């Protein structure tokens, strides 16, 4: 939704900025050998650069006035060689620094992605997908200049400035003092500009994240369908335009922040040669010590050479301050606490029987309100449990606890007698398969979507899984068969076809424990029958926990429990619960009535 981004207040900056800088520097630690080589190239390049003005002084003060042709030729060749060597050093320096920078970018992207992969499901239920994408794409992408060139530029320009100042002092210390009088003022101005740009950059990245979220939501297949069927396409375009306008304003502010102040530095630095000539002329007229023409020209050459790295150094400082806002956003994700972690000494089960037990389990999304309370259940290996109840009773929450999508807040969930929190992640992922109402398919071929469950699956295994899920004949009838692209989120397939693909994928995974979370609730009766046949094939010989909306799918379960407000109110077989004439019997009568009306 549109929002007044220009009035957005960024989060407070990290008060321990030096610690943040040290953390950034640690990113480069694995590449310190290559960075040391860059430092040597920079130092050598700086020495070669400052050597040219000294050769120029000798040309003007000695070689030309005294007609020393040999010396003149030698000095000229030396100046040409210095330029060639400097260029070669510059290319090598750029190659190494860019490679290091891109490796650091890769490390950051991978670290953020890995951290997000380990976040609990709750994180993604409260975070917009576009915001996550923006952190990885826009924020890390915005740091590219910093990590690929800024660090090298800092070292290069700093070395050049130091070497140039030393050379200037060697030529004439008095002119050097005149040249450096305004340097503290320039540093103060650049820091003020950097602080201003850092604040604006934080706002800009927040706005870019908002736009990324809008694009992700509104230009997905679901978003397009909703917008067009609701007649909101034009208004959504207007909303996006408003967001883009805010970004335009922030981009302009970012680029213009401190521009006049930095221009003032440029004007003063450009006027410095005139000041040097004036100072030299005054010294001669007042009878002070004279300065040779060669020394004067060489000094001005050095002074002009000092202008570029000094301004670049100040600009680099501004860029680094700006980048701190981006690093801070990335570090926020890297510092997110991971609630669900693998134990230090995890238990690995080589053979999994599939016994599931809930012992006095409770769970809360929000501590004051319990989603589940006092849950005691036992499902023997190969047994079936059905969980029914009204919407919001905690059915899906119960199913999330077995594969550790959430961790219990009280009690234990056991798999083959071992607390699932003590199992290694590989054992848990092998043990538990989930088929939910929301089937997710990647924008890839049918075969690739199935192989996501088992990357080394053969074509024969894929076909067998599809046949068991009763979807093979349909796939074989497609023009490209198993190579057919399913489209974004599988929108080229119907709901029933997607469910059967999901079932085939789970069959390929072959988990001993199966969670069916309302897998047929969104399907019509005819499609539900076909999918139910596939589910029956999938469930055979497995421990099955079914979260049911339509009670017709669970009447043959070994055990049925009724949840209400997070507590078990009834349990038994279908016939036993009908005989009790309680809540379950009322639900069955409701279902029978609705089916009759249809």
pLDDT along the chain (598 residues), means of 10: 38 57 81 83 76 77 80 85 84 81 83 81 73 72 66 67 74 72 65 67 71 67 58 72 77 66 64 71 63 70 67 63 73 81 87 92 82 92 90 87 90 94 90 82 85 89 87 87 77 78 86 82 62 74 84 83 91 90 83 55
Number of other CB atoms surrounding residue 244 within 10 Å: 13
Residues spanned by the domain of 481 = 356-597
Are residues 303 and 381 located together in one domain of the fold?
no
At residue 378, the pLDDT reads 94
- Dist. CA 100–CA 108, nearest whole Å: 12
Same domain? For 302 and 388 the reply is no
Same structural domain for residues 421 and 298?
no
Last residue of a domain, one of 334, 366, 397: 334
Asked whether residue 554 is assigned to any structural domain, the reply reads yes
Q: Output Rg (C-alpha) for the chain, integer angstroms.
A: 35
Report whether 298 contacts 171 (CB < 8 A).
yes
C-alpha 293, offset from chain centre: 59
Residue 182 domain flag: yes
* 436 and 290 share one domain: no
User: Do 360 and 315 share a domain, yes or no?
Assistant: no
535 within a domain of the structure (yes/no): yes
Q: HSE on the CB side for 291, CA within 13 Å?
A: 25
Same domain, 317 and 441: no
Angle of the 69-117 helix axis to the 293-334 helix axis, nearest 10: 10
Task: Decide if 584 contacts 571 (C-beta within 8 A).
Answer: no
Q: What is the pLDDT of residue 270?
A: 67
The secondary structure element, H or E, covering residue 572 is strand 567-572
Q: Same domain, yes or no, for 445 and 535?
A: yes
Percent helix, strand and coil across the chain, each to the nearest 5? 65, 10, 25
Q: In terms of domains, do 397 and 284 share one?
A: no
Q: Residue 211: inside a domain, yes or no?
A: no
Q: Does residue 431 share a domain with residue 399?
A: yes
| C-alpha triplet 470, 466, 477: angle, nearest 5° | 75
Does residue 252 fall inside a structural domain? Answer: no
In a domain, 28, yes or no: yes
Q: Tell me, yes or no, whether 329 and 361 share the same domain.
A: no
The answer to the question of residue 63 being in a domain is yes
CATH number of the domain that residue 93 is part of: 1.20.1560.10
Q: How many separate domains does the chain show?
A: 2
Query: Which residues fall within 8 angstroms of residue 304, CB to CB, at 6 or more apart?
Result: 273
Alpha carbon of residue 87 to chain centroid:
37
Answer for the pair 61, 295: CB distance below 8 angstroms, yes or no: yes
The pLDDT of residue 63? 79
Q: Count Cβ atoms below 10 Å from residue 512 Cβ, excluding itself.
A: 22
- Which CA distances in Å does 306 have to 152, 166, 310, 312, 596? 17, 11, 6, 10, 89
Instruction: State phi, psi for 12 to the nearest 5 degrees.
Output: -60, 140
Residue 228 lies in a domain: no
292 and 394 inside one domain: no
Q: What is the DSSP string of 284-351?
A: HHTT-----HHHHHHHHHHHHHHHHHHHHHHHHHHHHHHHHHHHHHHHHHHT---SS---SS-B--SS
Whole-angstrom distance, CA of residue 566 vs CA of residue 382: 26
User: 559 in helix, strand or coil?
Assistant: strand
CATH of the domain at 391: 3.40.50.300
Q: Is 568 helix (H, G, I), strand (E, B) or coil?
A: strand
User: Quick one: 162 and 291 in the same domain?
Assistant: yes
């Amino acid at each position: 939704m549109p929002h007044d981004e220009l009035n957005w207040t960024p989060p407070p900056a990290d008060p321990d900025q030096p610690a943040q800088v040290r953390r950034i520097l640690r990113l480069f630690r694995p590449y310190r050998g290559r960075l040391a080589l860059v430092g040597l190239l920079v130092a050598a390049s700086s020495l070669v650069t400052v050597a040219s003005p000294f050769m120029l002084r000798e040309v003007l003060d000695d070689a030309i006035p005294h007609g020393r042709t040999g010396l003149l030729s030698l000095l000229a060749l030396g100046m040409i060689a210095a330029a060639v060597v400097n260029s070669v050093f510059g290319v090598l320096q750029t190659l190494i620094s860019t490679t290091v920078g891109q490796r650091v970018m890769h490390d950051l992207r991978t670290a953020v992605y890995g951290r997000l992969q380990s976040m609990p499901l709750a994180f993604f239920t409260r975070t917009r997908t576009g915001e996550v994408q923006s952190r990885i794409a826009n924020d890390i992408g915005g740091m590219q200049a910093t990590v690929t060139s800024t660090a090298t530029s800092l070292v290069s320009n700093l070395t050049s400035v130091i070497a140039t100042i030393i050379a200037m002092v060697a030529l004439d210390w008095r002119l050097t003092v005149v040249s450096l009088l305004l340097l503290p003022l320039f540093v103060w101005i650049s820091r003020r500009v950097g602080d201003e740009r850092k604040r604006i950059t934080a706002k800009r990245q927040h706005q870019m994240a908002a736009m990324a979220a809008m694009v992700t939501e509104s230009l997905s297949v679901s978003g397009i369908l909703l917008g067009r069927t609701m007649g909101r396409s034009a208004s959504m375009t207007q909303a996006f335009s408003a967001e883009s306008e805010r970004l335009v304003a922030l981009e302009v502010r970012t680029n213009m922040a401190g521009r006049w102040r930095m221009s003032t530095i440029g004007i003063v630095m450009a006027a410095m040669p005139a000041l040097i000539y004036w100072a030299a002329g005054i010294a001669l007229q007042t009878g002070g010590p004279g300065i040779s023409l060669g020394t004067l020209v060489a000094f001005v050459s050095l002074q002009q050479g000092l202008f570029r790295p000094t301004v670049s150094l100040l600009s680099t400082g501004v860029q680094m301050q700006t980048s701190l806002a981006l690093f801070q956003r990335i570090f926020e994700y890297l510092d997110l606490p991971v609630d669900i972690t693998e134990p230090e000494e995890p238990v690995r089960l080589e053979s999994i029987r599939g016994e599931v037990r809930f012992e006095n389990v409770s769970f809360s999304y929000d501590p004051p309100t319990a989603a589940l309370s006092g849950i005691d259940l036992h499902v023997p290996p190969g047994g079936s449990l059905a969980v029914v109840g009204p919407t919001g009773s905690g059915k899906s929450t119960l199913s999330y606890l077995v594969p550790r999508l959430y961790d219990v807040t009280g009690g234990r969930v056991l798999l083959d007698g071992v607390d699932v929190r003590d199992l290694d992640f590989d054992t848990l992922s092998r043990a538990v398969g989930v088929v939910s109402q929301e089937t997710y398919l990647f924008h890839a071929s049918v075969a690739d979507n199935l192989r996501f469950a088992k990357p080394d699956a053969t074509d024969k295994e894929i076909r067998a899984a599809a046949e068991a899920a009763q979807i093979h004949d349909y796939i074989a009838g497609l023009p490209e068969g198993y190579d057919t692209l399913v489209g974004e989120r599988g929108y080229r397939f119907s709901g029933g076809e997607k469910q059967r693909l999901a079932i085939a994928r789970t069959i390929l995974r072959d988990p001993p424990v199966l969670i069916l979370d309302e897998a047929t609730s969104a399907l019509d009766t005819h499609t539900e029958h076909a999918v139910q046949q596939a589910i029956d094939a999938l469930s055979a010989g497995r421990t099955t926990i079914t979260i049911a909306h339509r009670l017709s799918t669970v009447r043959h379960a070994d055990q049925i429990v009724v949840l209400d407000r997070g507590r078990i109110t009834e349990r038994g077989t279908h016939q036993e619960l009908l005989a009790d004439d309680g809540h379950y019997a009322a639900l069955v009568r409701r279902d029978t009535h609705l089916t009759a009306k249809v």
